[in-house]
Structure 1
């Protein structure tokens, strides 16, 4: 498939970060809560201990200071962003969106907290018209309530779509392949709402020992990948062929191999179910699979799926044709430490130097504009002043910035040896 263009031909790229994060300062969520929750919120906020150093530092206001954010992103060459959550929603013990809550009352409060974030986010995006696509939050415990929130968010202009929580072992929730969630897929298809699955929300709790933290780092992206094969094998895309799934900040180099594996199992089990004249384990495993799934996994990827390839690494870029140049959306992960700010231009050079211009244009902005509904004509005017030049990104990066913290610059993360 040919790569989409990225606006009119200029000497600069229009860069849209498909992975940024924001949220309100803790007490600023209060006005967005229904009044009946104010007293409980005051008690919760008075005792809440924030576990995240970046939300306690003097740079924490990057999450909610609209003017600072716009200025820093433009300085970094970025003119628009997809905004995932970052700060703690009211009534949550941490940023994790896992439920069930300990009690029905606590669950009700957590829903109120997520709604408060979503309403704050709508105002935050409205403060920069056309430049932010907000990703709203839901819980999976009550599908009917989730559907109501999706409809509200669509009317409120949160074009970034929904953030799909994971269902890790021990959550007590039906797995994502369950038809329980069909009303969610149906309303997303109806309204053109992208379903985003971001790394970090699908891992089971592992504790705080050093080994546990290392295991989390190794496994967290795998647990996030699971959403892909759950929805494919569960038939969500057969029943809802207009559904769009975006997998963000999970890397992208894994995709060709996983699709090969999924195609293999799909073909193997479907064939066993069709040809076997006697009952075998594989014929039982494959019974009904082809009918429930419809298209094969690679076809589903081609027609329905995208990747938010945050700070794409050089070793992933040669795989872009197998992933799909029209599927890849670069992201800076601002304002996280592992993001590329303030060295996004260098990060883009590190990844894309030597790549054809039209392909770079698609991956750094054109694809995100298509998936999330950004107006490229309007953004091109901003990029004419703030965007990185074509010549700049064509120049290979020979040495990483000395104080850069993004993994894109890490030794061993690149085919280049610094």
Structure 2
């Protein structure tokens, strides 16, 4: 760490709360009347977005420290935890939880909107504004705060240009792919140029829960957390079956907030399906699919006692602890209590990798 201390706990999946003026202040003047903005409703405050019928409330994105019976989807902006938008306050809240460093992701439904914006120039302007703000936030303490820049998706050239611009900004440690560079959910051979640029920069590519190419449904009309159970394996398989990891072996993929207990089953099944069906599917990999899963893919989890107990079948060097702060999944400021319950009896060297070492290696907290 910058002060010479060791990293004992790195949170590999946390979130910020985008401030109300982020896009109003940073977008070019011609776009400001279309900018995402917060509006007050009778129930509370919410984001109002161009082309999105339902306002996006944010109460459950700022529940850290609350008992479940106090959590409300609608709140006023002034009730949001300051650490979500103020980096100095964030460091104080991290210290209270005895957390050394944190990887920073956007608010999911806001990032989904940015990803799904079809106007290419407006899309890029919003993404750039977000990346600039995130760099200023993370750059407040680059040894402790690591920003995951958002990739635009209106062409490979655009995505590469913004990646190379934003990754050079202070505090940036990785790139978030919300959908593939052409704006859809099908990986293409020409996308390799982007993956190569990310690999050459020595930072990981990140998928947070799932990928989208349009604004998803509201949370009220689906089972909570349902998408966590099926989208991540699909995206991992696209990279494996598509030969991306064979062509670009240095590429690191982190799949965040999907937990780990299912990974051993996936490993077994992808090898079995490949052995039985590769010829008919016209797949030709020089190594079993599990080879790429083990070498190129890491996973963050919040609470997964089963997965931690079966860590060797997952890969001890591929597991990253996370808290989801300040969202509903967070146990802040008592993260160490849940860690103690999950890690009882685990050798210190393995514990240290999963709690800090793997994230430190991937996100280069000791070198940025």
The 1:213/1:191 distance shift into structure 2, 3 A limit, reads same
Counterpart in 1 of 2:104?
Answer: 83
Counterpart in 2 of 1:27?
Answer: 21
> How far did 1:124 drift?
0.7
The separation in 2 between residues aligned to 1:95 and 1:370, in whole angstroms, is: 28
> How far did 1:303 drift?
1.7
Query: Residues 159-212 of structure 1, C-alpha deviation per residue, up to 9 Å, x if partnerless?
Result: 431111147xxx9944443214222111112212211011144497774596x4
Equivalence map 1:301-340=2 (5 Å)? 301-309=293-301, 311-340=302-331
SS in structure 2 at match of 1:71: helix
Is residue 181 of structure 2 the alignment partner of residue 190 of structure 1?
A: no
Counterpart in 1 of 2:248?
Answer: 240
TM-score after normalising by structure 2: 0.82
> How far did 1:269 drift?
2.5
Query: Residues 268-297 of structure 1, C-alpha deviation per residue, up to 9 Å, x if partnerless?
Result: 233xx3xxxxxxxx3xx2x2x11xx44322
Counterpart in 1 of 2:165?
Answer: 152
The number of equivalent residue pairs is 337
Counterpart in 1 of 2:42?
Answer: none
Counterpart in 1 of 2:57?
Answer: 51
Residue in structure 2 matching 1:255, options 249, 263, 266: 263
> How far did 1:51 drift?
2.5
The 1:146/1:204 distance shift into structure 2, 3 A limit, reads closer
Counterpart in 2 of 1:295?
Answer: 287
SS in structure 2 at match of 1:354: coil
> How far did 1:109 drift?
1.3
The 1:21/1:209 distance shift into structure 2, 3 A limit, reads closer
Counterpart in 1 of 2:222?
Answer: 213
Counterpart in 2 of 1:68?
Answer: 89
> How far did 1:99 drift?
2.6
The separation in 2 between residues aligned to 1:66 and 1:260, in whole angstroms, is: 43
In structure 1, list runs of 5 or more residues that go unmatched: 1-5, 274-281, 379-418
Contact 1:176 1:227 in 2 (8 A): no
SS in structure 1 at match of 2:14: strand
Counterpart in 1 of 2:44?
Answer: none
The separation in 1 between residues aligned to 2:219 and 2:162, in whole angstroms, is: 37
The separation in 2 between residues aligned to 1:66 and 1:374, in whole angstroms, is: 17
Contact 1:199 1:250 in 2 (8 A): yes
Residue in structure 1 matching 2:147, options 112, 134, 140: 134
The 1:303/1:206 distance shift into structure 2, 3 A limit, reads closer
Counterpart in 2 of 1:179?
Answer: 189
Counterpart in 1 of 2:135?
Answer: 122
The 1:221/1:172 distance shift into structure 2, 3 A limit, reads farther
The separation in 1 between residues aligned to 2:145 and 2:341, in whole angstroms, is: 26
The 1:303/1:348 distance shift into structure 2, 3 A limit, reads same
Equivalence map 1:368-407=2 (5 Å)? 368-375=359-366
TM-score after normalising by structure 1: 0.73
The separation in 2 between residues aligned to 1:303 and 1:64, in whole angstroms, is: 35
Contact 2:116 2:212 in 1 (8 A): no
The 1:172/1:263 distance shift into structure 2, 3 A limit, reads same
> How far did 1:79 drift?
1.1
SS in structure 2 at match of 1:160: strand
Contact 2:17 2:84 in 1 (8 A): yes
> How far did 1:156 drift?
1.0
Counterpart in 1 of 2:116?
Answer: 99
Larger relative contact order (C-alpha < 8 A, sep ≥ 6)? Answer: 1
The separation in 1 between residues aligned to 2:345 and 2:94, in whole angstroms, is: 24
The separation in 2 between residues aligned to 1:243 and 1:124, in whole angstroms, is: 26
> How far did 1:32 drift?
2.7
Counterpart in 2 of 1:416?
Answer: none
The separation in 1 between residues aligned to 2:209 and 2:333, in whole angstroms, is: 22
Contact 1:202 1:224 in 2 (8 A): no
> How far did 1:242 drift?
0.8
